[in-house]
Structure 1
């Protein structure tokens, strides 16, 4: 049986463990930063080995696959060690905190001949798989443009942590744009021609609170009294909003497809978040910031909701949570590929390193042209 070692004990680490079990693999160990936390997680998930030393865990557990489920700033060294050990690597996004290190790891994995998976995995949301099929079947004609719009209205008081720091893998580009870019390229094609964008840090600071170990429960630690003079604050240095424009080459169109990615992490939504694919004959609208809601097709000047095809519905992993379902889907494909079975292309370190370098470019905020002299 395929053996998997998990690095990370929070929401992603526990989710990855269940995903690989769902794919028929054996989870042989878990590694975390805090001994008491990793021991408890391993006990609760019935994982036989737990520890805090990654190299020791590699040598003791002898995994076929390592699953990297820590914040992005902690990915580089463990992945480098795992590649040297000959392990296949499943890594959550972002791949690393910067493009150069991501590109280095991609090249190391390629030279070593290990397989990699990059979990920008909402491309496996059922309605996105449906949209992909419809585009391939010419339901909207030649694609012309796409828009991915989301407004999260996140609490400004969420305790300070990795999500507030660029060097730790934080920022909305790393943790939102990676998914939407993967969604668009999975439907239209992965040849990205050009990119332009702007980012904005409209948060500033966040309260420092002890005891936050799980990203999914961080809201439970928001201080009740934000005016407490003894409360300490950490400074954000990363974007909470972004606007990105891209041009993609698609085998379904003779000219490049225009794409708009608009995300406001701290602002409220009025209409539904959505992903829309426009074409010369029609359009596909999918509700939800990652396209996890209902799908509507526009044809003959009318929108109509389409049911999910039976085969796509039947293949949805039987687990709660959209994030978990997508992890299960990708883990299933990854394990099957490692076992030599035929699978559809899935995101790898090739995409992970490309996305990280694109994020570096967007964060420069230098896409503007000064027009003040044209007045």
Structure 2
């Protein structure tokens, strides 16, 4: 255990979309939650000096580095937060673990199962706390759905169906950024957004037993380019390159508890900016959730009176709902950024209380096994059993 209000010193590797989200979470955490540790934003790192210097000043970090190894080598850093492209996660995390730093990293955990397992071995060997940033677990409505399921309110689960729909790369002139290169990202829609749907399913109803899938790349070549922040990018239309990841994936799954699952992830669903949703059907009821209306949970209970049955809408902002009591009066909604605050709160409580928070690198390995099984199924056109 640690003394209350003790500072914990953060070093962040990366500074763009997720760097902004994580930085905001560290800064706002003490405002809303009485966490025993107070984040101290010591250093942020990135290769582009002018860009990382701008991020350092804007996000409120004390200093910046252009070499991530220098951050890990510093004695005044307790936590390494990894928000870099996927192909760098393993090298940075293993080095951080060997240096005795606690680690939080963006998803997916790595490019391959082998890399992910080596990361897990490193954090266990060096007895450091670790977490993977599946932030959608920390939506109050999702946490409340978990509570209802655990209490048996919907009974035995028959179906889990999930869609994660985006549309930001439909334009064939959208550049060939790192998210569209297998050697950097590992996979496309599958690992970028489908990984979140798979993790939510594991969190809510349990482990997978087998999967079958199909994948498609609709646009094979794009102008060479780079991300410019958020999901925006710029490119050079005179230079073209090959897209080496999937644009869309569809999965049918069986769970160990006997439930069936269907999953769709695509970045070609016009009109859907971030449509992350699921529906769970059980013997005694059903649950629906949609990230674009993240504060609301739809529930149906079969034992309602005849003539009164149907989905009801719960706005999960009452003090009885998870996390809601830390914010505003009922009906005063919170947003996407608060999911990261909740995740960081759990991470730091794990460090302070000397317990391993979740989701962690073990979850990351299990998700990586799922991702590889889905890719293998799509390639070989058959069911794949999960070990």
Fold equivalence (TM over 0.5): yes
Q: Which residue does the alignment assign to 1:181?
A: 198
Whether 2:300 is the aligned partner of 1:284: answer no
Residues paired across the two proteins, number:
352
Distance 2:75 2:336 in 1: 27
Deviation at 1:101, TM superposition (A): 0.6
- The one-character-per-residue Cα deviations of 1:88-129 (angstroms, maximum 9, x if unpaired) are 110001111222111111111111111110001211122211
**Contact kept in structure 2, 1:66 and 1:87, CA below 8 Å:** yes
- The one-character-per-residue Cα deviations of 1:158-209 (angstroms, maximum 9, x if unpaired) are 32211101121151111112211221222223x3322222221122122223
From 329, 332, 348, give the equivalent of 1:335.
348
- The one-character-per-residue Cα deviations of 1:11-43 (angstroms, maximum 9, x if unpaired) are 111221222233431111011011111111112
Q: Which residue does the alignment assign to 1:3?
A: 9
Provide runs of 4+ in structure 1 moved above 6 Å. Answer: 316-321
Whether 2:22 is the aligned partner of 1:19: answer no
User: Mean alpha-carbon deviation: is it higher for 361-370 or for 197-206?
Assistant: 361-370
Distance 1:76 1:369 in 2: 30
Q: Which residue does the alignment assign to 1:373?
A: none
Deviation at 1:80, TM superposition (A): 1.5
SS in 1 for 2:238: coil
From 70, 75, 85, give the equivalent of 1:56.
70
Distance 1:330 1:362 in 2: 27
Q: Which residue does the alignment assign to 2:35?
A: none
Q: Which residue does the alignment assign to 1:120?
A: 134
Q: Which residue does the alignment assign to 2:312?
A: 304
**Contact kept in structure 2, 1:127 and 1:294, CA below 8 Å:** yes
Q: Measured at CA, do residues 245 and 159 of structure 1 come closer, stay the same or move farther in structure 2, by a change above 3 Å?
A: same
**Contact kept in structure 2, 1:135 and 1:187, CA below 8 Å:** yes
Whether 2:266 is the aligned partner of 1:257: answer no
Distance 2:124 2:354 in 1: 20
Q: Measured at CA, do residues 316 and 192 of structure 1 come closer, stay the same or move farther in structure 2, by a change above 3 Å?
A: farther
User: Mean alpha-carbon deviation: is it higher for 28-37 or for 168-177?
Assistant: 168-177
Mapping 1:1-375, distance limit 5 Å: 1-23=7-29, 24-60=38-74, 62-155=76-169, 156=171, 157-169=173-185, 170-189=187-206, 191-209=207-225, 212-214=227-229, 216=230, 218-219=232-233, 221=234, 231-249=238-256, 255-268=257-270, 274-288=277-291, 292=294, 294-299=296-301, 300=304, 301-308=309-316, 309-311=318-320, 312=322, 314-315=324-325, 322-340=335-353, 345-364=357-376, 365-366=378-379, 368=381
**Contact kept in structure 1, 2:295 and 2:315, CA below 8 Å:** no
SS in 1 for 2:111: coil
Distance 2:220 2:63 in 1: 40
Distance 1:199 1:284 in 2: 28
User: Mean alpha-carbon deviation: is it higher for 8-17 or for 307-316?
Assistant: 307-316
Q: Measured at CA, do residues 341 and 100 of structure 1 come closer, stay the same or move farther in structure 2, by a change above 3 Å?
A: closer
Q: Measured at CA, do residues 310 and 77 of structure 1 come closer, stay the same or move farther in structure 2, by a change above 3 Å?
A: same
**Contact kept in structure 2, 1:4 and 1:66, CA below 8 Å:** yes
Distance 1:138 1:355 in 2: 26
Distance 2:28 2:350 in 1: 15
Deviation at 1:268, TM superposition (A): 2.8
Q: Measured at CA, do residues 323 and 70 of structure 1 come closer, stay the same or move farther in structure 2, by a change above 3 Å?
A: farther
RMSD, aligned CA: 2.6
